[in-house]
Amino acid sequence: MTHHLTPTAGAAPPRGGPGGSGGPGDAGVLTGWRRFHWGQDVGAVPVAGLLDRLARAEYGGSCGRADAVLSVADRRTARLRGLARRDGALPARVLAAVGAAPDLRAFDRTALAEAWERTARLDAGAAATVEIRRRLLAGPGSAETGFLLDVADANGLRPLSAVEAHRRRPAGRHAAHALWRYLSGVPGGHLVLPHPGEGRDGYEQLLLAACAERVRPAGPSGHLFRAAFAALAEPAPGSLVVAQSMLLGRPEEPGAGLSGGMSVLLTGLGRALTAEAGVARVLTLTTARPAEADCGDLVRPAGRSHLLVRLPLDSPQPLEPHTAVEHQAALAWWTARILALPGARPDIVHVRFADDASLAVARATRRHGARLAFTVTPDPHRTIDERHGRLPPEHTGDAALALRLDLHRVFVADRLVARADLLVAMPTTPGQELVAHFPQLAERPVHVQPEGIAPFRPEAGDGAAGDRLLARLYGGTGAGGLDPADRELPLLLCVGRLHPVKQQEHLVRAWMLAGLHHRSTLLLVGGSPTHPTPVEAAVRARLAGHLAADPVAGRRAVVWPALPNRQVRLLERALAQGRPGSVLYVCPSAKEEFGLAVLEAMEAGLLVAAPRRGGASHYLRDGVNGRLLDTASVARLAEGLCSVLSTPVPQRLAMARAGAATVRERFGIDSMAESLARAYRAVCGRTSPSARPGRSEGADGDLDGPR
């Protein structure tokens, strides 16, 4: 379904730019930073805390010049974002001057790159080419040199010849990589590019091979790149090739690191799009670990005509929201190289997160002339006041950094909305709430997609596999399980990535505060089994600390690392069938946008309890097909858990059966895939599956040739 969203009654008229925070209940109350976003009564808005001051600088038109509390860097950030949002011409000399600041923040590069892109589109990029050349010949620092070379290459500009660029020889690994990327797009670049064998490690060898392949397709120096992506050598038969990205987290590792329910969704959706919705091929873009890049294992099948495609990442650590900006230019370049391969030329690319990695994919999409879809959600918009509204203006430290990261994510979301050809919303997010946070959506159609989960498909041996999981669970405390003597006690199950937003720590504390550890057991499943992130390690350590404080709790709770999705669903089925009414699936998150893991537990036949705040309240009726919990505090969560476990078993069984019926009747992934495929075809000009037409050169004059 495609809708035109309308503003909430009583709200200010929408304007271009982002909306504010808050939930549906306060959408018409414009206070604090939201007034700046809407441009309403800006001069009359009282400015108190750091959030309001930063918002006034960014959206109030003054760029913070009148606010002595803000630093020069904050005022520069506000100015850059204002330039990036502007519709008209942007002076190249101004961008070059701002970009030359020695203390430019990493986040500022995102806004600066957006502004350069618009400037490059004017006058066929002549003014941008001249100004970038002037800056490069002036001998800027290594970081600025690398940035300008990437900007030039991404926009089809050639400010320096291959020889001139080679003479720059910027110091540092990242700047050297930017130089190679630039040289790969310049006539004669192959004459000065290092040979792939001269790379110092596996990543550099693969990068140089990709550069060589771009310069001279099918040449011997590009063999390593072609071999790594050999599965993409042949075009997909039929019509409509779809790419979808998940660069923060890995689709094949749900529950580990940043890989949550979206991992499971994209895997199931890829299969449904190709098997049921007539899509020729689905490519799920993710990132590669160094060992995978070293061995060239970068494309794997994930189903019929569904491939996982890993982008090389120059980091031993997985991407995080605060580090993705450092890899944005490289990720955009790799995405552009992969999308140029015959079997990876998408008609549409779908991004679902407001982060720098998604913006990198969006930039590469533009270079190839493909359409862009973006799933727009009001995060972090609706929680900014709650999280940061009380910060004093002089505040520094982690809280202030978190505030600036959230404002950066709001800016990235705005840029993705502006770039998108197709905007997608979840049915659990009311249109009024979206417009309250994104007033620009009032004038744009938004496709509201049904949500769904992949059906569980029984296989031979499922019973034995379920029995093994139960044996592991009740294998004794010395074996990482629960005491077999506690098998008859009610069990609380929670599955999800280990992260503060998932609030597993709240759950453990509430379970102990209510004294439930004396009459129930607890199983938490989540966190990487082999490559824990610092966040996972910190959450696990805090959980261990709470449980160690009480011997009974320590004996009756266990934390398992993440399991493959199929094993999770087998475990849930075994628990539902073997212990009907005695197992409660608990989602203690502050909120869930959708709650895929909740729906999977419901489908398995477990009684579920999920946050009242967020998407679960749109399909859970408290006391009918599940329970809704107040997860805002440990005390309120403890009260809710006591209430659920005090419910008579027959009533719990009735709710569990009603929950399973809800999933069967309303949340099939095939309906979701068919709805998305129709929207994809409509925006691509395809009314039905047919032969794919040829593709014209990218709008920016990219030299990679026709699609």
Determine the average pLDDT of the residues in 542-555: 95
Q: Where are the beta strands (DSSP E) in 5-68?
A: none
> Residue 317: what pLDDT?
84
> Residue 229: what pLDDT?
95
**Which pLDDT band, with edges at 50, 70 and 90, does 5 fall under?**
low
Please compute Rg for the chain using Cα positions: 26
**Which pLDDT band, with edges at 50, 70 and 90, does 255 fall under?**
low
Tell whether 439 and 516 lie within a shared domain. Answer: no
**Angstrom distances, CA of residue 572 to CA of 263, 568, 577:** 19, 6, 9
**Which pLDDT band, with edges at 50, 70 and 90, does 702 fall under?**
very low
Angle between helices 356-367 and 328-339 (to 10 degrees): 40
Q: Is 662 left (phi over 0), alpha (psi -120 to 50) or beta?
A: alpha
Determine the average pLDDT of the residues in 211-225: 93
Domain membership flag for residue 293: yes
| pLDDT tens readout for residues 559-573 | 999 998 899 999 999
The lowest-confidence range among 324-338, 383-397, 445-459 is 383-397
Number of domains in the chain: 3
Task: Please identify, among 216, 250, 270, the residue that sits at the C-terminal boundary of a domain.
Answer: 216
| pLDDT tens readout for residues 311-367 | 999 998 888 888 899 999 999 999 999 999 999 999 999 999 999 999 999 999 998
Residue 476 has pLDDT above 50, yes or no: yes
Residues near 549 by beta carbon (within 8 Å), at least 6 away in sequence: none
Q: Is 91 left (phi over 0), alpha (psi -120 to 50) or beta?
A: beta
Tell whether 159 and 288 lie within a shared domain. Answer: no
Tell whether 328 and 471 lie within a shared domain. Answer: no
Tell whether 468 and 324 lie within a shared domain. Answer: no
**Which pLDDT band, with edges at 50, 70 and 90, does 237 fall under?**
confident
Domain membership flag for residue 671: no
Tell whether 184 and 41 lie within a shared domain. Answer: yes
Determine the average pLDDT of the residues in 164-173: 89
**Angstrom distances, CA of residue 174 to CA of 111, 150, 202, 357, 360:** 19, 11, 15, 17, 16
Sheet containing 627-629: order of strands: 557-560, 521-525, 491-495, 583-586, 607-611, 627-629
Say how many Å lie between the first and final Cα of the chain, rounded. 30
Domain membership flag for residue 231: no
Determine the average pLDDT of the residues in 101-106: 87
Sheet containing 348-351: order of strands: 2-4, 445-448, 422-425, 371-375, 348-351, 241-245, 281-287, 306-311, 299-303
Residue 13 has pLDDT above 70, yes or no: no
**Which pLDDT band, with edges at 50, 70 and 90, does 486 fall under?**
very high
> Residue 529: what pLDDT?
78
**Angstrom distances, CA of residue 314 to CA of 11, 203, 294, 334, 622:** 46, 6, 11, 11, 47
Residues near 185 by beta carbon (within 8 Å), at least 6 away in sequence: 153, 156, 158, 214, 703
Q: What residue type is assigned to position 547 of the chain?
A: L
> Residue 204: what pLDDT?
93
Determine the average pLDDT of the residues in 217-221: 91
Domain membership flag for residue 672: no
Q: Is 310 within 8 Å of 203 (Cβ atoms)?
A: no
CATH number at residue 578: 3.40.50.2000
> Residue 45: what pLDDT?
55
Say what the pTM is.
0.88
> Residue 706: what pLDDT?
28
Determine the average pLDDT of the residues in 471-487: 91
Tell whether 330 and 196 lie within a shared domain. Answer: no
Q: Which residue has the higher pLDDT, 36 or 640?
A: 640
Domain membership flag for residue 692: no
> Residue 2: what pLDDT?
67
Q: Is 67 within 8 Å of 56 (Cβ atoms)?
A: yes
Of all residues in the chain, the percent with pLDDT exceeding 70 is 88
> Residue 1: what pLDDT?
66
What is the 8-class DSSP label of residue 380?
T
Tell whether 468 and 529 lie within a shared domain. Answer: yes
> Residue 24: what pLDDT?
31
> Residue 226: what pLDDT?
94
DSSP, collapsed to helix, strand or coil, labels residue 307 as strand
DSSP, collapsed to helix, strand or coil, labels residue 434 as helix
Determine the average pLDDT of the residues in 503-529: 95
* CA 348/CA 422 separation, integer angstroms: 9
Scanning 430-550, the segments in alpha helix (DSSP H) are 431-437, 462-473, 504-513, 534-548
* CA 462/CA 682 separation, integer angstroms: 41
The lowest-confidence range among 91-100, 482-491, 622-631, 686-695 is 686-695
Q: Which among 83, 82, 85, 55 is positioned nearest to 67, based on CA atoms?
A: 55
Token pair recorded at residue 590: 């502050």
Residue 47 has pLDDT above 90, yes or no: no
**Which pLDDT band, with edges at 50, 70 and 90, does 280 fall under?**
very high
- 183: domain range? 2-216
Tell whether 316 and 268 lie within a shared domain. Answer: yes
**Angstrom distances, CA of residue 376 to CA of 18, 168, 466:** 12, 41, 38
Token pair recorded at residue 382: 């609706």
Q: Which residue has the higher pLDDT, 154 or 706?
A: 154
Determine the average pLDDT of the residues in 437-449: 88
* CA 128/CA 659 separation, integer angstroms: 58
Of all residues in the chain, the percent with pLDDT exceeding 90 is 57
What is the 8-class DSSP label of residue 561?
P
What is the 8-class DSSP label of residue 705?
-
Residue 687 has pLDDT above 80, yes or no: no
Domain membership flag for residue 645: yes
Q: Which residue has the higher pLDDT, 699 or 486?
A: 486
Residue 37 has pLDDT above 80, yes or no: no
Task: Please identify, among 421, 448, 475, the residue that sits at the C-terminal boundary of a domain.
Answer: 448
* CA 367/CA 143 separation, integer angstroms: 24
* Peptide bond preceding 648 in cis form (omega within 30 of 0): no
Tell whether 330 and 397 lie within a shared domain. Answer: yes
Tell whether 401 and 338 lie within a shared domain. Answer: yes
Domain membership flag for residue 680: no
Domain membership flag for residue 223: no
Q: Is 10 left (phi over 0), alpha (psi -120 to 50) or beta?
A: left
Tell whether 356 and 267 lie within a shared domain. Answer: yes
Q: What letters, b where the CB count within 10 A reaches 16 and e where it falls short, cover 362-383?
A: bbbbbbbbbbbbbbbbbbbbbb
Tell whether 247 and 206 lie within a shared domain. Answer: no
Scanning 237-375, the segments in alpha helix (DSSP H) are 261-275, 290-295, 328-339, 356-367
> Residue 677: what pLDDT?
95
DSSP letter string over 48-59? -SHHHHHHHHHH
